[in-house]
Structure 1
Amino acid sequence: MQRSRSGDDLGEDMSEFGVHSEVGDLKKVIVHRPGLEMRRLTPTNAAELLFEDVIWAKKARKEHDAFVELMRSDFDINVMHVHSLLEDVVSDPEGRAYILDRKIVPDEVGVLGADELRAWMDELDPETLVRHLIGGLTVGEMPKGFGVSASKAWGENEFAIPPLPNQLFTRDSSCWIYGGVTLNPMFWPARRKETLHLAAIYKYHPEFKGGDFKIWWGDPPERDRGNAMLEGGDVMPIGKGIVLIGMGERTTYQAVGQVAKTLFDEGAAERVIAAKMPADRASMHLDTVFTFCDVDLVTVYQPVIDSIQAISYYPSDSGLDVVVEKEGWLDVVEKALGLSKLRAVQTGGD
């Protein structure tokens, strides 16, 4: 979350919550420290959980801690951890019920599991509960004599609740767009449960509960939204009422159109520019190929940038006006921001 802006946006009204620029001063941010879920990665399940290999969890935590300390000590950023925020949430009976009512259900854990697991997890202390909500729960970790049929049919290391190692990437499961936030239905099933945790934080944590912001789209997070998928790495509010949204491997036009219409209806944006990219890993998210470093400076991965089709959405009385742009991506963004020149630095090769 950012509060400060740069360039022509400095004079605009800002609330305590929101992201109004890709290059403004960062004031608050939510991060996740690698934990039990990372230790759950194995050569067998890594691909299913969207990792190319297992990681050295201890070293990852050390590097994470160094980065957090840098943000706090050198830049005075308020760094909040998912795990700590969730511990506060589940200390509130309403917050705990919000998560468990949506996570421990027959569709996820079976009929018997929904009853037995729910009762047991309701009694867990906040730290232990959150560790298993993110880190997963194996059959062998259940209390002895609990789930007898499950322990006979499945191995001790099989998951009753799968781990969420991608909770690490907090930018994707929700994204702040000007004065509000979206709760994102993500592309891969392995990631979709992450959004519920962020929703619970925004709804029940004292830092956010009753805050001056809106949930633009994606609520309730457990709803099946079909082909409407959105990930935060594709979303960039860049000022002047403009939002850039990538449509590559992860984010779909069905979601982009709905988000654009909501932002227009709420008066939160004036133009959404979608970047239609090849649906492959090289263009997983817009921020992997196009990143702002300053108000007029970006890094680009040229092979993908050259293939982008820019599509502009505008508000209209009928709902949306959609314009397929004739110019290249960099030219469209440059003109939208009113820049005399958008400087671009190419990144390295493969």
Structure 2
Amino acid sequence: MSGYGVHSEVGRLRQVIVHRPDLSLERLTPFNHDDLLFDDVLWVEHAQKEHDAFVALMRERGIEVLYHHELLAEALDASPEAKEHAVERTVSHLTVGPVLVDEVRAELTSWDGPRLARHLIGGLTKDELGIGLPGGVGATPADSLVASLTRRRDFILPPLPNSLFQRDPAAWLYGGVCLNPVFWHARRLETVNQSLIYRYHPRFADAGLQYWYPPLGDDGGLDEEDFGRASIEGGDMMPLGNRAVAIGIGERSTAPMVEKLALELFRADAADRVLVVDLPPSRAYMHLDTVFTLLDVGTATAFMPVMGSARAYSLRPGDRDGSLEVLPEDDVFAAFADALGVPELVVVPTGGDDDQQAREQWGSANNFLALEPGVVVGYHKNVWTNRTIAEHGVEVLEIEGFELGKGRGGARCMTCPTKRDPLP
């Protein structure tokens, strides 16, 4: 056993990975934020203050908080193979052209872990690398079409501002981790960075981790060859406890990947049931945890215009190897209650009138992170929902999210738990 594992949604949280706002968010502009999946540019210094307060709150509650960028830097310094793997996956003839590829790779592998990690997450421009400039890296313009034609501020490595939301590219279900093939191209290299951490960081490399996806290759490394052909993201994945898992299918997660993951869980005897929630494929409801999260063992919050009419299916092991039993559920909330082993699920709706509910859902009002049963973290701005939840006996620890929320994610989205207790 590795000691790592997330055995419920609301059991006491012990350890979590986050990413402090950084260079990648400074790269957002009015001209590229849509392509990078943000609704606006951020005041990064203020976002850092908001994030620091969130981290301080968790640490005050005894939770060990690890930083993604520090883990990545340490993983890169832990092994020359880590740097080689990172550079080979991010720099190729398709990104810098065949003339430049060898020299750019050689330059980046010579960097120390902190410098390389900064740019694997934050991006790297042609200008910063000095491509085509006297004394810089790479061929002169006369030798390379890429050096001749691309603009000075074009990216050699793209920025990954959605690294702020650590939940999606890597997620734990019970005793194993899934390195997720995410949906949008703008986020796919986030999973490579997660793979580097789990494969090479001393915390994880020799911990005997169980991987639900991708499989381990013949050389003992992670086989990422199929990333992106099907997709699943951590915002859709919930280890409910009681040997049950909930997964949303909508804008970001697809049925083929859910089938693959369910079969892996059943084959390892890690779960008995996967409850699938069919959601509208909309940016407003991009993940299950944007419309539904658990607050306590038998209490949840939900955006009823979506969850009130959502279809659900239960997957269980089939009667032959590699098969599933797929059963439709009559009521999504009754199915959650049954999966959790409680008589009834108390559902606290998003607060306010119809307009206010829509506004607060858009502002991550249903995206709570449970620190322990009945104690959750959410954005202060969602006044109606927080008040309604408190009236149901749940303690809401409020954080500011004026800047952090511009990426459409709340406390749950910003965290990747690696150690969480089972249900009490």
- TM-score, structure 1 length as denominator? 0.92
Query: What is the aligned-residue identity percentage?
Result: 46
Give, in angstroms, the shift of residue 337 of structure 1. 2.1
Moved more, 46-55 or 142-151: 142-151
Give, in angstroms, the shift of residue 311 of structure 1. 1.2
Inter-partner Cα distance in structure 2 for 1:31 and 1:313: 31
CA root-mean-square deviation = 1.6
Determine the structure 2 residue equivalent to 1:189. Answer: 185
> 1:1-350 maps to which residues of 2 (within 5 A)?
16-72=3-59, 74-91=60-77, 92-143=79-130, 144-145=133-134, 146-147=137-138, 148-149=140-141, 150-219=146-215, 220=222, 222-225=224-227, 227-318=229-320, 319-348=322-351, 349-350=357-358
Give, in angstroms, the shift of residue 15 of structure 1. 5.3
Contact 1:276 1:308 (C-alpha < 8 Å) held by counterparts: yes
Moved more, 273-282 or 97-106: 97-106
Structure 1 gaps of 5+ residues are 1-13
C-alpha offsets along residues 264-320 of structure 1, whole Å, 9 cap, x if unaligned?
111111111110111112221001111000000000000110231111111124223
**Bigger relative CO (Cα 8 Å, ≥ 6 apart):** 2
Q: Per the alignment, in what secondary structure is the counterpart of residue 124 of structure 1?
A: coil
Moved more, 183-192 or 141-150: 141-150
- TM-score, structure 2 length as denominator? 0.76
Runs of 4+ in 1 over 3 A off after TM superposition: 219-222, 224-227
Inter-partner Cα distance in structure 1 for 2:22 and 2:8: 31
Give, in angstroms, the shift of residue 239 of structure 1. 0.8
Q: Per the alignment, in what secondary structure is the counterpart of residue 168 of structure 2?
A: helix
Moved more, 284-293 or 340-349: 340-349
Give, in angstroms, the shift of residue 104 of structure 1. 1.7
Inter-partner Cα distance in structure 1 for 2:170 and 2:100: 29
Give, in angstroms, the shift of residue 157 of structure 1. 1.1
* Aligned residue pair count: 336
Give, in angstroms, the shift of residue 221 of structure 1. 6.1
Give, in angstroms, the shift of residue 225 of structure 1. 4.5
Contact 1:109 1:161 (C-alpha < 8 Å) held by counterparts: no
Give the residue type in structure 2 aligned to 1:194. Answer: E
Residue 202 to residue 225, structure 1, CA distance change in 2 (3 Å): closer
Inter-partner Cα distance in structure 1 for 2:207 and 2:95: 32
Inter-partner Cα distance in structure 2 for 1:275 and 1:227: 21
Give the residue type in structure 2 aligned to 1:230. Answer: I
Structure 2 gaps of 5+ residues are 216-221, 352-356, 359-424
Inter-partner Cα distance in structure 2 for 1:49 and 1:112: 28
